[in-house]
Structure 1
């Protein structure tokens, strides 16, 4: 099975602002918004901690003391398996800071990925190994997302063979693969300066990606050539992993899925 994978959970505030869901729920951070009875972040940490493929779990958040206020996480913090890391002003610097001194490979996900499961984590890591990837991105098929919940996602990436949704889960084999993160250092500035993303990915690649020209695999082969490393898409079988909590609708969807899982588990006991 090899060495354990370090997990990094991004739980900081976007642009330092309080998320609308957090405001509505009366909490300071989006990751603290309750879903099916407990904070989003706790669902994610529970899945990572239950995986026998994951070692240390790092959480990037502006105020690490927030984690100590969650009784569900105190045991992991006390044993040293969960390590709070101060988030930086932008996404890339947060990833780089949290990865400092970490053992690779590194699995990166977000605190709103509440439907993550140990089996999906194993499927992701197995897919990375099978493709001899340097870096990888998790996707799931449109039909899988809709099978998980009819309102799970409304936007999909269309390719010649199928349509997919991103699962907010990424993997990096070693520190050299962190170079891909530098592409996004300017974050939202891509919106104001679109030539920056064109320079990073190449105009032809972006046109093909935007209009779904070719297969998903072929698209990532072109990205791999652009970045001089193997960047692979890993297709997860559980479409629920693509349902991250971004608004009241997806919060409700995630709640339903989690309650269904709990009922199935109870029925099986």
Structure 2
């Protein structure tokens, strides 16, 4: 990637087919992505942050119901500028990523519409570290102690490695089109903490054992998975624990809004 090359940002803003999210129902909107948090719809916050990241060029929102999102003022302004377009949300996460990547310029920065606490500086940190690592595929992680310092109940699940506990920040990197196949790791929807069988399917049995016993560092696990898939997978440790707190349900919504009120008043 040269200095002139810009990253394409995919903002995943899909919804479960036939299911109205409880937060959306409470807010009186049709999808979770447009639920206001401290007065601003979630997806608008995320789009604003990636748009202000100097490393990001084009932005694509991957959504099942784009009209409601396109009507948001910040989104509409980027559409008018020709910088933001929509891609069709598919039945599952992986096919939605493939849909968003179709015809896009690489590398890809993938984030989610409920990542309300990630700042432009956070995205810059992630992109810069991915490039420096020469990664084909990366995932952003925050240290357990940093997440707890951000909010004691903001995140409850952590991946335990020999070098500490970490939480996923819902930031992903696909450095080139060939590496797009690594998205198949998420075919079963992720959530590896809840469903260990998914680690076996994605990473292999021995890696599940090492992961569960905490006998290896995160770098070692990613190296082993890299050999399994033939891509260079790199864990990217981020400096701010807030980045691991997203809006999943009522509890994390309250945490996120409380943090945003401190930031914004």
TM range, normalised to the smaller chain? over 0.9
Superposition map of 1:103-142 within 5 A: 103-142=105-144
Aligned to 2:207: 205
> Please, which of 32, 38, 50 is the counterpart of residue 34 of structure 2?
32
Asked if the contact 2:59–2:83 (Cα under 8 Å) also holds between the matched residues in 1, the reply is yes
Give the distance between the partners of 2:163 and 2:98, measured in 1 at CA: 35
Give the distance between the partners of 1:18 and 1:153, measured in 2 at CA: 24
> Please, which of 157, 179, 182 is the counterpart of residue 181 of structure 2?
179
TM-score by length of 2: 0.93
Asked if the contact 1:220–1:232 (Cα under 8 Å) also holds between the matched residues in 2, the reply is yes
Asked if the contact 2:182–2:231 (Cα under 8 Å) also holds between the matched residues in 1, the reply is no
Aligned to 1:145: 147
CA drift at 1:16: 4.4
User: Residue by residue, what CA displacement relative to the aligned partner does 1:89-119 show, whole Å, maximum 9, x if unpaired?
Assistant: 1111111011000000000011011111111
Aligned to 1:266: none
My pick for the range that moved more, 85-94 or 163-172, is 85-94
Aligned to 1:101: 103
Give the distance between the partners of 2:176 and 2:210, measured in 1 at CA: 29
Check 1:195–1:49 CA distance in 2 against 1; reply closer, same or farther (3 A cut): closer
Aligned to 2:93: 91
Check 1:50–1:195 CA distance in 2 against 1; reply closer, same or farther (3 A cut): closer
Unmatched 5+ stretches in structure 2? none
Give the distance between the partners of 1:109 and 1:5, measured in 2 at CA: 12
Aligned to 1:233: 235
CA drift at 1:26: 1.5
Could you say what secondary structure the match of 1:14 adopts? coil
Asked if the contact 1:16–1:89 (Cα under 8 Å) also holds between the matched residues in 2, the reply is no
My pick for the range that moved more, 105-114 or 178-187, is 178-187
> Please, which of 56, 60, 63 is the counterpart of residue 61 of structure 1?
63
Check 1:196–1:18 CA distance in 2 against 1; reply closer, same or farther (3 A cut): same
CA drift at 1:58: 0.3
CA drift at 1:14: 2.6
Give the distance between the partners of 1:6 and 1:214, measured in 2 at CA: 33
Give the distance between the partners of 1:256 and 1:196, measured in 2 at CA: 33
User: Residue by residue, what CA displacement relative to the aligned partner does 1:173-208 show, whole Å, maximum 9, x if unpaired?
Assistant: 0111111112333448x99x9767524311001221
How many residues are paired up? 262
Give the distance between the partners of 2:48 and 2:186, measured in 1 at CA: 29
Give the distance between the partners of 2:51 and 2:231, measured in 1 at CA: 30
Unmatched 5+ stretches in structure 1? 264-269
> Please, which of 246, 251, 254 is the counterpart of residue 244 of structure 1?
246
Asked if the contact 1:112–1:245 (Cα under 8 Å) also holds between the matched residues in 2, the reply is yes
